[in-house]
Amino acid sequence: MAPQATLSPRKVRRLQTRERILGAAIAEFKRSGMADAEVSAIVAAAGVAHGTFYFHFPTKEHVLLELERREEARMAAEFRRFLRSGHDLASALAELVRLVTVLELAFGGKLFKELLALHFSPSRPGSDDWTDHPVIALLVDQIERARGDGTIHPEVDAFYSATFFLLGIYGVITTTERLEARDSMLQELVASAVRGLEVR
């Protein structure tokens, strides 16, 4: 077993400050959206100076990137736990719909839309590949397994199928206000995805 690294008191304080700033920023983003959020309100709530905010997060977009990274890791862990139980592809897709819906309800429509806008923005800070996103990687793996088991068409491209499915979830959630209509559309999205993948 590897020895645990001990953090210096200074490093601990820095991490605590970062968490305070992140919490204050998320609260402000939920209230007014990222674009309209004032850094002065965030630093006042966190009890830090402007320079401290920018030391930890060069831009407000970097706060959203951190939020995206954390939430994706949390969702991936929850999805991974679900996948350990007995399931078929349809139930895995339905679970993913549930996880994304819960996230949108927790953040509120405005912050959720801003998170997606940043995710798909060409000016997004940093670059990444789909394999850097654990939820996509887990879904690709599930589709590849189903293809290997012969339960879906052998020519299905797992990456594109996973991507199109996730884009469908995001599209329905961000454009459909009424919950009943949204839930119905999401159920149909799962059913359509399964029908489109199965062997004929």
Domains of the chain: 1-57 (1.10.10.60), 60-197 (1.10.357.10)
Of 30, 21, 29, give the one whose Cα is nearest residue 56.
Answer: 21
The residue with greater pLDDT, 30 or 120, is 30
Instruction: Tell me the pLDDT band of 144, cut-offs 50, 70 and 90.
Output: very high
This prediction has a pTM of: 0.85
Q: For 32-55, what is each residue's pLDDT tens digit?
A: 888 899 999 999 999 999 999 999
Q: For 84-102, what is each residue's pLDDT tens digit?
A: 988 899 999 999 999 999 9
The residue with greater pLDDT, 131 or 176, is 176
Distance CA 155, CA 95 (A): 24
Distance CA 19, CA 191 (A): 40
